Amino acid sequence: MSDGDDRSFDIELLQSLTHDQRMNATWELVEHAHAIRGGKPDELRLQRSVTSIKRRRG
């Protein structure tokens, strides 16, 4: 993208979408990028961190 590109259309489009529509569009881009790299859609998942928090007694 060059410095002269007008992104006002993109901004207006994104601002006109609901939160759910933006999330769906974003996820479609993630799936597309993953497929280009040879990945399968069922491999995609949100990362979940596992932690344990223990309260000190005393």
Q: What is the pTM of this model?
A: 0.57
pLDDT, mean of each 10-residue run, the chain (58 residues): 72 91 92 92 78 80
Closest-CA residue to 23 (of 32, 36, 14): 14
Every domain of the chain and the residues it spans: 9-37
Indicate the SS3 state at residue 4. Answer: coil
21: left (phi over 0), alpha (psi -120 to 50) or beta: alpha
- Supply the pLDDT for residue 3: 57
